Structure 1
């Protein structure tokens, strides 16, 4: 069967071409695509810049929603082999059924937000361990889609009591406070380090979920350590994004003077079996609106994916729909 798919190489912009799709193998099902996700991970892999990326020609994309041919079952799936195609053969182990009563709006929410929500859900599930009772969480990079979803994940999936959003723009943080009822407080990096420390909002933080890295991470980490009421109280810093830069300065004194744990969160640190279990739960939470409520997104036509590939990922997340 001939299908149209969007391909990329590290040295070329994504391009459409027709390929022959073979019959599925015994461990696979054929999924007829309804929509595919557009996110930082998909873009980074297409450029060959992500640690999971191929250096050869490959179909772009990391996730999709569609219907299983032969049964009509509505599913979400993840594939390191790419997802931007009219139909694909997908391993059964990578397919996650959506609730049978899912509406088109529910399906759109899942594909628009699943990858962004996975970032924080994976961190809290597999990298932090159990949150302490009445846990206080800070989200660095809170004004973006992944940051807002992290607020909801921290409270609605993992029971955090307090969530503080940290960002560079006071204007965007003020808007976030209006839009996201689960957010308790904010810290603007427009403030000086001294003002952040004296404000005391980081003095009792248990977890910092970092979507930014770079200089912003250095500033917040320094402020969190200097603000701590109890030096031996455990502070877990979970790093999962680097839009602020690839390097952050960390004082060796910070590692010796407090109970600080720094970990990364992604596909590498835990077995795939743990990721499978988490995605199943996350898809259900997105489909029923427990996660994703109020987070803006919109569809674009799949046929424009090559032209729109370099669009910025703004405050309104987009996805490509067939």
Structure 2
């Protein structure tokens, strides 16, 4: 079958041929219709992710949408290695296959499932969002951050603050639900003053997609501002701006900040499956919107190297690869 494969360490994935996967007991075979590029998919393909494969060749892709042998449509996650989701067929644990609602198309489902689950889990399972609370989304101009703004509002946040570097994108996010926008990349003193003002008025939860310098400034400023009667729940979800930060220990000793992560490991697999199911069934009722571009699978080699943080790439495998 046709598949996007990494043939050796350090080699970019490319279209090739691999034998059809044979499902084991407890697995489903999925005829793949759509699969999206994600940060995890890219990191695993390059060998940079902790779960990266050490056997070659392997098929890239951690999740997708397709049909089971009985014709039912499902979203599936974590296909068995060395088979990934970017292939004509995949095999996945039946417990990781989620039936799709009839009103949700394959490509929207493939685009929204992973970032939607990430945001929803961070807000509910980790931060324990309460209706009326104030949420700050650090890194809201990317596809995941934009979705997090919408989800926070749907889940009952009273006020949503959004940070990002692109002023045009920030204005778009304001139109789609953010109450306050904060531009990153300005003078450090200006940014600190802006953060201080918002924390003084009250921030309950920070959902961080960036890490790096902006996360440092947020944590330090939050500590200086004081966290009032309730602790600030700082949830680390992504690290687009850097994998490490420099944080004085006094920041945590002198504040009520609760610093935590959200992802596979901090949240159980069963719970993540449950949350993903909720996201998929809430997409239409909540009018959740995510930008994506649909690309024929035959164009994989050209599309893979391109990165666009404002729109996800979803490969169309429904029409074959010829």
Distance in structure 1 (CA, Å) of the matches to 2:241 and 2:64: 28
Is 1:262 the equivalent of 2:263?
A: no
CA offset digits 1:206-254 (Å, max 9, x no partner): 1111100111111122222223462x53011111111111211212221
Distance 1:68 1:229, change over 3 A: closer
Is 1:276 the equivalent of 2:277?
A: no
Distance in structure 1 (CA, Å) of the matches to 2:203 and 2:74: 38
Query: What secondary structure does 1:76 align onto?
Result: strand
Partner of 2:181: 186
Does the 8 A contact of 1:153 with 1:291 survive in 2?
Answer: no
Query: What secondary structure does 2:24 align onto?
Result: coil
TM-score by length of 1: 0.89
Distance in structure 1 (CA, Å) of the matches to 2:23 and 2:313: 30
Distance in structure 1 (CA, Å) of the matches to 2:211 and 2:62: 23
Does the 8 A contact of 1:165 with 1:183 survive in 2?
Answer: yes
> 1:149: how far off?
0.5
Does the 8 A contact of 1:169 with 1:190 survive in 2?
Answer: no
Does the 8 A contact of 1:64 with 1:76 survive in 2?
Answer: yes
TM-score by length of 2: 0.89
Partner of 2:40: 41
Partner of 2:293: 298
Partner of 1:90: 92
Query: What secondary structure does 1:165 align onto?
Result: strand
Distance in structure 2 (CA, Å) of the matches to 1:289 and 1:127: 24
Partner of 1:113: 112
Is 1:285 the equivalent of 2:282?
A: yes
Is 1:136 the equivalent of 2:138?
A: no
Aligned ranges for residues 120-159 of structure 1 at < 5 Å? 120-128=119-127, 130-156=128-154, 158-159=155-156
Aligned ranges for residues 1-322 of structure 1 at < 5 Å? 3-8=1-6, 9-57=8-56, 58-69=58-69, 71-80=70-79, 81=81, 82-99=84-101, 101-102=102-103, 106-128=105-127, 130-156=128-154, 158-178=155-175, 180=176, 182-199=177-194, 200-203=197-200, 204-228=202-226, 230=228, 232-286=229-283, 288=284, 290=286, 292-293=288-289, 295-322=290-317
Distance 1:242 1:198, change over 3 A: closer
Distance 1:147 1:50, change over 3 A: same
Calculate the aligned-residue CA RMSD, in Å.
Answer: 1.9
Unpaired runs of 5+ residues, structure 1, are none
Distance in structure 1 (CA, Å) of the matches to 2:131 and 2:174: 24
Does the 8 A contact of 2:3 with 2:15 survive in 1?
Answer: yes
Q: Deviating runs (4+, > 3 A) in structure 1?
A: 190-199
Does the 8 A contact of 2:3 with 2:16 survive in 1?
Answer: yes
CA offset digits 1:46-100 (Å, max 9, x no partner): 111112211222210011111112x21011110253211101222211100011x
Query: What secondary structure does 1:53 align onto?
Result: coil
Question: What is the total number of aligned residue pairs between the two structures?
Answer: 309
> 1:22: how far off?
4.6
Unpaired runs of 5+ residues, structure 2, are 318-322
> 1:197: how far off?
4.7
Does the 8 A contact of 1:63 with 1:83 survive in 2?
Answer: yes
Does the 8 A contact of 2:21 with 2:89 survive in 1?
Answer: no
Distance in structure 1 (CA, Å) of the matches to 2:238 and 2:92: 28
